[in-house]
């Protein structure tokens, strides 16, 4: 860490495999009241390899919230309220393109939103105000580059770009749905990347995603997708991602 330089506060939104974060030396756990209701869990602040970070498990404590019932607006609003300027959304994903095989790390540069029926904007007519935020590049490039550097430094270089397709879940996709996503240009598929990235942009947060591939998307591997396969890959990814986050948090 650079002494004397105040780094912008980093928040980590944990997904599958990161319902808790044992590497974090917890200093406080805070329930935050938001205009949008309750966050998935209290926001934890603590130190990761000595650097101050915030942590929020997207699916709640014990992984109880499915992707379509997560209060994305409350989560991001709370992180900003507690001073976060940079937010990394962790994402376990299925791999579509050949570069995105299980265990790969990836830092997507663009996305397509296939979700529906989620509260997807802070502009809901109740809080007042309206802005049509630019999403030409939906992820914060500075944070993307910092993530790419951290992955390289950790010894697990990331695929440095990719298009993330956000599906509704919680079921996995059909083969035809994945063929369609591939035709649309998607490289990765997950269930929580939107509306998270869009709301982060509305709130003026520097947001990027660190994706880790836990299965071949439907029809891209052998046979059906099993939870056993996903969990085996997930547990290998957790250690790698934890190291990347430590490097990111301490490098400013
Ligand atoms: N599809 C959608 N979300 C996912 C997948 C998938 O194959 N794997 C992990 N999250």
Helix 193-202 × helix 72-81 angle, to 10°: 40
Q: Confirm or reject: Cβ of 92 under 6 Å from ligand 1.
A: yes
- From first to last of its 252 residues, the chain has per-residue pLDDT tens of 444 455 799 999 999 988 889 899 999 999 999 999 999 999 999 999 999 999 999 999 988 999 999 999 999 999 999 999 999 999 999 999 999 999 999 999 999 999 999 999 999 887 778 999 999 999 999 999 999 999 999 999 999 999 999 999 999 999 999 999 999 999 999 999 999 999 999 999 999 999 999 999 999 999 999 999 999 999 999 999 999 999 999 996
CATH of the domain at 212: 3.40.50.1580
Helix 227-250 × helix 141-154 angle, to 10°: 100
| Number of domains within the chain | 1
- For residue 5, is it within any domain? no
Q: Confirm or reject: Cβ of 67 under 6 Å from ligand 1.
A: no
- For residue 126, is it within any domain? no
Q: Confirm or reject: Cβ of 206 under 6 Å from ligand 1.
A: no
- For residue 130, is it within any domain? no
Q: How far is the CA of 173 from the centre of ligand 1 (A)?
A: 8
Burial class (CB in 10 A: 0-12, 13-18, 19+), 74: buried
- For residue 241, is it within any domain? yes
Residues spanned by the domain of 92: 10-121+137-251
pLDDT at 6: 58
Q: Confirm or reject: Cβ of 192 under 6 Å from ligand 1.
A: no
- For residue 129, is it within any domain? no
Choose the residue to mutate in 190, 193, 224 for probing ligand 1, maximizing ligand atoms within 8 Å of C-beta.
Answer: 190
């Amino acid at each position: 860490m650079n002494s004397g330089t105040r780094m912008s506060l980093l928040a980590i939104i944990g997904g599958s495999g990161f319902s808790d974060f044992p590497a974090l030396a917890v200093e406080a756990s805070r329930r935050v009241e938001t205009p949008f209701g309750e966050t998935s869990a209290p926001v934890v602040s603590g130190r990761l390899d000595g650097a101050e970070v915030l942590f929020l498990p997207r699916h709640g404590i014990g992984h109880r919230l499915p992707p379509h019932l997560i209060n994305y607006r409350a989560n991001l609003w709370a992180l900003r309220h507690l001073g976060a300027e940079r937010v990394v959304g962790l994402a376990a994903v299925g791999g579509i393109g050949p570069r995105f095989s299980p265990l790969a790390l990836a830092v997507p540069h663009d996305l397509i939103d296939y979700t529906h029926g989620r509260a997807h904007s802070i502009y809901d007519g109740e809080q007042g105000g309206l802005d049509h935020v630019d999403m030409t590049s939906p992820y914060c490039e500075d944070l993307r580059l910092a993530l790419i550097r951290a992955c390289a430094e950790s010894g697990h270089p990331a695929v440095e770009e990719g298009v993330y397709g956000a599906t509704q879940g919680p079921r996995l996709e059909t083969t035809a749905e994945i063929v369609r996503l591939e035709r649309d240009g998607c490289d990765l598929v997950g269930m929580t990347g939107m509306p998270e990235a869009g709301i982060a942009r509305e709130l003026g947060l520097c947001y990027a995603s660190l994706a880790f591939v836990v299965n071949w998307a439907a029809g891209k591997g052998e046979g059906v997708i099993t939870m056993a396969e996903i969990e085996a890959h997930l547990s290998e990814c957790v250690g790698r991602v934890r190291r990347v986050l430590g490097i990111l948090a301490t490098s400013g």
